[in-house]
């Protein structure tokens, strides 16, 4: 696979750099060993899901990985909050839309 000339770690660059995965897991309060396990698991599978579909955003997959592997371990309140709130660089604000189309400008009805 070829990499884009700009590698920013936002999740859409596939395959990700191990360093970006470690940073993401650290932000979620997990050790580097957990990030390495995730990275090796999906690298061995050529960054495809269990059903064979290519992974488009590794951060979504990492969040699911963290959730599934934490089911048997009690989560601290801090870790629960970290799983729910994305890092500030992950937040993107889109304009208000309906079904993928921009909302039309509404004109006022003429007064009688």
Whole-model pTM: value is: 0.57
What are the Cα distances from residue 11, in Å, to 14, 38, 83, 90, 105? 8, 14, 15, 9, 35
pLDDT tens per residue across span 24-62: 999 988 889 999 999 999 999 999 988 999 999 999 999
pLDDT at 81 > cutoff 90 = no
Cα–Cα dist 74/96, whole Å: 38
pLDDT tens per residue across span 87-106: 555 555 555 555 555 555 55
């Amino acid at each position: 696979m070829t990499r884009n000339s700009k590698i920013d770690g936002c999740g859409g660059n596939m395959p990700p750099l191990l360093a970006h995965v470690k940073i993401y897991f650290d932000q979620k309060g997990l050790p580097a060993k957990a990030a390495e396990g995730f990275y090796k698991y999906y690298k061995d599978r050529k960054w495809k899901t269990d059903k064979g579909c290519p992974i488009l955003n590794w951060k979504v997959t990492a969040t699911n990985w963290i959730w599934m592997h934490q089911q048997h371990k009690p989560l601290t309140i801090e870790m629960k909050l970290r799983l729910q709130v994305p890092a500030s660089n992950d937040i993107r604000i889109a304009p208000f839309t309906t079904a993928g189309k921009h909302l039309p400008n509404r004109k006022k009805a003429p007064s009688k």
